[in-house]
Every structure is written in structure tokens, then in C-alpha cells.
Chain A
């Protein structure tokens, strides 16, 4: 019985995860190392990877900062009523339920050239949709819950006693945060950052709709993979996909490491 279940588990993992992952690696080197290098050193591939990198940096910074603040407010704030906190708390999860394509559509509707806000920005010569800012906003929308959901349970668990003690001893709000709260949420924050990086690295649907997927301009690594496949250039798609997959596996390792540290504090 026991053998059977373990064997089945191994079978599922091999079929669903390990074989597909190695197939990408094999596919990327189908035309040897040169083929892989050409796929990656195409100007559009370099540009796409750079765009993805920029988006990841901006999004992780903004959502990291605002995510921690939001988690703090949702758990600790006395200036919000309990009911309002409950409502805000459920709204945080909404991006999970929204299809990325719909997320992108929302931003096009709201900030596109035909909308009021988009028209205004266009008027002053600032493009939002089909440009970098729109892609950042789309990724921000999709990744917002990740940090909040990592930090909130830790804040709830550690309770307020230590913070109150610090405040009683005369520490200012900022000192209390730096000396008492931060050390205990640190690893949850690291975990949240890793999740945000992974999600913004891989975001596809929302970015595809918002960016218009213009080569050498608004194309990201994932949308380039999509375009390569559509153009039947599967070998090139494999090269970029392998780079993305390698990053994901790396992030997964960091995630494991952070998870262990998070458990220990």
C-alpha cells in the first residue's frame, strides 16, 4: 500500500513537473549552445529581459513598501473601525480572483487613451497604456495581495504586548517599529518579496493586454515567449523560457530557505 502511494506521488511529480521542465532545457539547446546564445542575444530578447527586470524592481519596491504598511494598518490600526478593517481585508484578496486579462482590461478602460484620466495624461504628453507606466500598474494590481498576506498572519501571531511595552518605555512609533516589530516580521517580508518578484517576473496576461506587445518597446520576457511561439519560432522561445524557468527555480530555492528562517524567526 505504502509503496503504491509513494510510487504514484513520484509518478505525478515526474509527469507534471520534472519532464516538462527538462523538456524546456533540452529544447533551448536543440541547436547547441550557439542556438541558445543567438536566441538570447537577439536585440528584442535583451530588451524584453531588461523590461522585465525594470518592472520587477519597481513593482517589488512599491508593493513591498505599501504591502507592509497595509498589513500593519489592517492588523494594528486603531483609527479604522473593526468593520471597515474587515471590508478592506476582503478587498485585498480580490486581485487573486481577477483573471490577469481582466486586470489588464481594467487598466486599459480606466487609463486608456479614450478614458478621461488617460486622455488627460495623453494631453500633457505622458503615455500610460501601451507604455511602461501601464505595465507597472498592471503588475502592481496583480501582485498586491502577496506581501499583505505574508505579513498579516505574523503580525497577528506576535500580538501587541511587546510593542505596547516599548511604547510605555517611551519609544517613538518609528523606534518601536524598527526595534520590536521589524525583527519579527523580517522573514515574512523576505518571503513576500520573493513571491512578488516571482509573480511580477512571470506576469503575462495583464501585461500583454496593457502593453500591446510592441517589439523593442513594451515587450517583456513572457510576452516575447508568446510572440515567438505564435511566429512558430519555438527554438527561440525555448531560450527565453529557460532563462525565466531558471529564475523561477532559483526563487523557489530562496523561498525554501526563507520558509525555514521564518519558522525559526
Chain B
């Protein structure tokens, strides 16, 4: 019996199954999109990319992604700081709530925004009376992006703050540094790797977001049509080449961000 289990063939069978599963599931599909986008030649790819609706969608996604990342970096850093440094009632509860946007289906997130800010809700009506619209316009997309990427910065900064030796801060105070100066010279630099990698993760997630956005975006080309919704539309209207072209643009961008995150993290580990 044991000789049967220990037989070499089993081991190799196991290893190749796992690697094959991995290659077939992850590598092959990604490879497939790149091949498909080139299937009709370079010119067709360039033509699809040069379509103003396509590149404007990508550009709009990047722009709104940057705005939402910026806001998330600010509130995320603040929340990470408060949750680690201050003891107050409800802290543990808030700390577990941080992960809620990860656990919640994105379509549900979109529905929430629609209910709270959409037509018929009092915030939506009040905003309309003041002369600007939220849902089906750019603000709603930014809000949806902020919602789904909320945990990234917090979860990246928290461990760094926990690790930070209080002695370093105390040393700064002892040498006469003001609170503000200590924060900017000691605390902020040690949070920075987390802020950068968390922010970039949030940005790449915002670029990719679909579920929450599709319910609240108006999908007007050039104004409120973001890349993932554009791709979905192309698939629905049976134009896989156009969908693949925009996908390749978005994918290449996301992979570049992922690569930079890896670089930042490696440098952080070495320092």
C-alpha cells in the first residue's frame, strides 16, 4: 500500500495536474485576449484603439480612477491612523467593518448608491434642485470607485503603523520637535510605502471596477462611459475584436501598475 502511495508516478501526476490547472486557468485566457486583439492584424487593432469612443472611455476611467484614489489615500491614511493610535468605544467594530466592501457583492454596492443618491431619494432630489446631478453622471462613478476600493489603503498602512517603534517618535519629541514636525519627519515617511502600494492597488481596482459602476453610470460615450462598461457593451453587441482591443489597453496598464507595486514592496522590504 505505502509503495503504491509513494510511487513516483503519483507525485509527477499531481505536480503536472496543479501546474496545468494553473496554466490553463490563468495564463491561457490572458494570452488569448492578446492574441484575439491581434487576430485581424495590427491595423485593425490600431483602428479599434483609435476609435474616439474607445480611447475616451479608457481616458475617463483613468481620470476618475485617479480622483477616487486620491480621496481614498486621504481618508484611508486618516482612518488607519485613528484605528491604530486611538482607543475609543467601537474601535474593534469599525476595524472589522473596513473589509465590508471586499465582502459585499459589487452589484449590491452599486444598488446601495443608486438607492441613496438616485432619482427619488432626498439627497438626489436636493442635489438636482441645487443644479447638479449625481447618479448617471461622473460623481456617482467616483463614489462607486471609492466604495469598492475603500479597504486597500487602510489595510496597507495599518501594519506599518503597528510596526513603527514608539521610541522613534519619543526621540523626536525629546529633541524638541513639534507634533507636526514629528508627524511629517518620522510618522509619515514610515507610512509612505503603505500609502503608495495601497493607493496603487486601489487605483488598479478602480480601473477594473464594473459591477458597482454599471448600475450608476449613465454610459454616455466620452462623458460617463468607462472602459469596463464599454467592453461589456462591445461583447453584448458581438464585437469581440473591439472589446479585446480596449481590454488589451486596460490590461497592459493594470499589469504595469502591478509590476510597480511589486517593485515598491521589494524596495520596502530591503530598506
Contact = CB atoms under 8 A, between A and B. Distances in A.
A102 B30 CA distance: 9
A225 interface: yes
Contacts of A253: 96
Q: In which size bucket is the chain B interface?
A: 35 or more
Contacts of B102: 195, 198
Contact of B150 (A16, A172, A241): A16
B79 A225 contact: no
A13 B91 CA distance: 11
Nearest to B2: A172
B232 A208 contact: yes
B196 to A, nearest CB: 17
A52 to B, nearest CB: 9
A11 B204 CA distance: 26
B6 to A, nearest CB: 6
Contacts, number: 235
Given A23-B116, A245-B104, A252-B97, 14 more contacts: A5-B78, A12-B79, A16-B150, A17-B100, A17-B101, A66-B21, A94-B26, A96-B201, A99-B231, A99-B247, A100-B228, A204-B106, A229-B215, A244-B105
A255 interface: yes
A100 B244 contact: no
B106 to A, nearest CB: 6
Interface of B: 2, 5-6, 11, 14-15, 18-19, 21-22, 25-30, 32-33, 36, 75, 78-79, 81-83, 86, 88, 90, 94, 96-97, 99-116, 146-147, 150, 201, 204-205, 207-211, 214-215, 227-229, 231-232, 235, 240, 243-244, 247, 250-251, 254-255, 257-258, 262
Q: In which size bucket is the chain A interface?
A: 35 or more
Nearest to A104: B235
B112 A24 contact: yes
Given A94-B255, A102-B250, A109-B244, A255 B235 contact: no
